[in-house]
Amino acid sequence: NLLYNGDFEDASNGWKTSNTIEIREDSPIFKGHYLHMFGARDIDGTLFPTYIYQKIDESKLKPYTRYRVRGFVGSSKDLKLVVTRYGKEID
């Protein structure tokens, strides 16, 4: 696993987040810790999205190797997953 703290055991390590993120562990759907993201906030007409991301040191990636990003989403509205390299989105 290339993600640090990918199971969200420690909310403060590895991830950069907006202020509207909580790590919980009280769900009948998920085992262990899971991420709870509140919706985007609209403050005086300015939209502040909810986000979480992690940068992976490129030296940890192997050449000519495919990597998979996966997870489980219990419910969502307008969720977007973006993977980028050098500031450009990867399909």
For 74, the domain range is 1-91
pLDDT at 64: 94
pLDDT at 62: 93
Beta carbons within 8 Å of 20's beta carbon, 6+ residues apart: 37, 38, 39, 41, 50
Strand (E) or helix (H) holding 85:
strand 84-85
Q: Is pLDDT of 81 > 90?
A: no
pLDDT at residue 11, as a whole number: 64
What total number of domains does the chain contain? 1
pLDDT in tens, 46-79: 989 888 899 999 899 999 999 888 888 888 888 8
**Is the whole-model pTM more than 0.75?**
no
